[in-house]
Amino acid sequence: MMRSLFSGVSGLKTHQTRMDVIGNNIANVNTTAYKSSSMVFSELISQTTQKASGPNAATGTGGVNARQIGLGVMGGAISVNITGQGAAQSTGNPFDIMISGSSFFVVNDGNNNFFTRDGSFYVDAAGNLAMTSNGYNVMGWQVDPETMNIKQDTVSALRIMSQANMTYPPEATSQAYVGGIIDKFDTDVTSSSGKAINLNFYDALGYDYTAKLVIKQSSLTNEYSIELDKILDSAGNEIDISGATFGSATNQKINNTATLDNTAYRWNANVLETASGQAVCDLSTLFEAGSTLDNPVFKTDEDTTKALEELAKAYGYEGKLDDFMNLTVDLKHDPADTTTTFTDGTYSVKQLLFNQQSGGNPCFTTPAAAFLDGPENWGLDSFDTTGRNFDGAMLVYNDGNQTGEKGHFIGVNGVATNQTVTLGLSGIGGNFSDIVIDFSTSSMFDNNGTCTVGATPGDLKGLGMGRKLGDMSGVSIQQNGMIYAAYDNGMTRLLGQIAVAEFANASGLERAGDNLYSATLNSGEFDGIGKDITASGGKMTTGQLEMSNVDLSAEFTEMITTQRGFQANSRIITVSDTLLEELTNLKR
């Protein structure tokens, strides 16, 4: 009688424990990444009133089974459905991460590692990736500063927003290319001022500049000069480029006739006057003392510059003053003229002006009879040019008279193996670097009289384009846990990788509260390094959290069976009590 009472009590206690498990599951139905538990029962020990006996061959009697009376029930085990994947809940927060698979995040309270499926993270004031619920640091692998790759070593806190990571260093531009179409009928490229193209670049400190390059057509329609005009800073101020180089001293073929506007100007000996007789340019005042024919140097004062500009204007030249002064004339002395002597060669307008004011030959007043096959247009009023001297390079294209594809770029100065020109800025000083400019993608075709040629920083693969100082504009986490920062200068940087832990028996982990688990002897130890989540086929998804894997329908069903079991066990006690009452009533 007493046995049934205690069996009923054990049933009540065990079902109450089961109800506790069910209640905890239902209470955590909305807990992030909660793993439901289930309880199984196990019978308690049994009292043996008679042991089993075997068959007796001598007497022919059979064996008798043991007689045992059970003494109740106990909880067999409480297991956690730790491998059951919860549904995904979208949050839109880039630091909310859901694990797919059987892995666990590794977090640390400053002393001990814990494990969790709760991927609700944030970045704290120190820049560490941490749990929002308790501030524990998310652990992972750091970036090797030498290789800039992940170094899978002992896990440590991921400080993704350290001061060093908030900016990306600038870099000087080292490569560029000029591509597009040059059309020989474009009025810009055929004008004396040329077709201007801009190359934007950075110095080593991230300051941006604009190099203005000028393309001009020669008298040969497949040859074009390119030269550095000027460099402007970001405020539009022109900087000193006297130390810069671009190409080399080159001569471009230019067949042209410079003619004085006789309606507005006239020469009076070596003085240029307006039609009204006002002197605007006196050749004797233009040159620095010590100038020679091989090195004539103009004075740099404002009056000299103004006088030279008026001189170029008188001859109708619309380009730069230096271009007019560097126009060249090919001259050969006629041996039949014994009164005039000079050396055959190519002379610039500047040199001829120097000889004009110094009384040397050849000059603009040298008699035409002194020249072999005397120039058709020669003198102060009119002269023919054959070319111009400039610092730069000649771009030569296939006009059909060369081998290869028509219209395509042959090479710099016509050399097929030379496709680049170096813009030498290191001579300027400061933080400038030389820029190698590639012209191989430019071409010469009919484009309805419009050039599309332009300069782009970086090579054809986008390397060497340079950059400004970049501020962090965002952080992204990849499926393998790698964390990248994006910067407003277009660069990205690997900041670290979230490591995960895997256990031989994940169900053996021990709950530690706050959605955390601790390793036990039965779960297997954490090696301190962790694994890449993709190695076992898992992945991380940002902007989502794993929901509880509690199945309410199953829990309610379990609740019903638990309730009925509890009721049935209470009836055991009630009936046993009634029997005991009848027994005590026998004494009446």
Using an 8 Å Cβ cutoff, are 138 and 104 in contact?
no
Distance, CA of 93 to CA of 541 (rounded, Å):
11
**What integer pLDDT is reported at residue 359 of this predicted model?**
92
Kind plus residue range of the DSSP H or E element containing 572: helix 552-584
Amino acid letter, residue 339: T
Going through 402-489 in order, the beta strands assigned E by DSSP cover 409-412, 420-424, 435-438, 442-444, 454-457, 470-477, 482-487
Specify the pLDDT at position 374: 76
Rounded CA gap, 168 and 294, in Å? 51
Stated as kind and residue range, the H or E segment containing 303 is helix 302-314
Domains of the chain, first to last: 2-83+555-587 (no CATH), 93-166+471-546 (no CATH), 170-259+381-468 (2.60.98.20)
Maximal CA-CA distance, the chain: 172
> How many C-beta neighbours within 10 Å does residue 376 have?
10
Query: What per-residue confidence (pLDDT) applies to 1?
Result: 58
Q: Which two tokens stand for residue 424?
A: 């030498």
Q: Token digits for 483?
A: 């964390």
Write down the pLDDT at residue 347.
95
Contact 391, 249 (CB under 8 A): yes
The 10s digit of each residue's pLDDT in 165-180 is 999 999 999 999 999 9
The span from the CA of 577 to the CA of 362, in Å, is 142
The verdict on whether omega for the bond into residue 367 sits within 30 degrees of 0, i.e. cis, is no
Question: d(Cα 314, Cα 261) in Å, to the nearest integer?
Answer: 6
| CB distance 193 to 455 below 8 Å | no
pLDDT of residue 588: 66
Q: Which residues contact 63 (CB under 8 A, 6 or more apart)?
A: 52, 53, 54, 55
Distance, in Å, from the CA atom of 457 to the CA atom of 174, rounded to the nearest integer, reads: 8
Helix 2-27 to helix 552-584 angle, to the nearest 10 degrees? 160
Q: What are phi and psi of 83, to 5 degrees?
A: -95, -5
Q: Which residues of the chain have pLDDT under 70?
A: 1, 588
Buried/exposed code over 517-553 (b: 16+ C-beta within 10 A; e: otherwise):
bebeeebbebeeebbbbbeeebebbbbbbbbbbbeee
For residue 366, what are the contacts with CB-CB under 8 A and spacing of at least 6? Answer: 340, 342, 378
CA 238, 429, 302: angle at the middle one, nearest 5? 40
List beta partners, residue 518: 510
Q: Which residues of 440-479 are buried (b: 16+ CB within 10 A; e: fewer)?
A: eebbbeebeeebebebbbbbeeeebbbbbbbebeebebee
Entry pTM = 0.74
- Check residue 49 and give its pLDDT: 73
Which of 359, 380, 379, 369 lies closest to 332 in space, CA to CA?
A: 369
Amino acid at 171: E
pLDDT of residue 494: 95
What is the spatial distance between Cα 483 and Cα 162, in angstroms, rounded to a whole number? 13
**What pLDDT, on a 0 to 100 scale, did the predictor assign at position 375?**
81
CB count within 10 Å of CB 491 equals 15
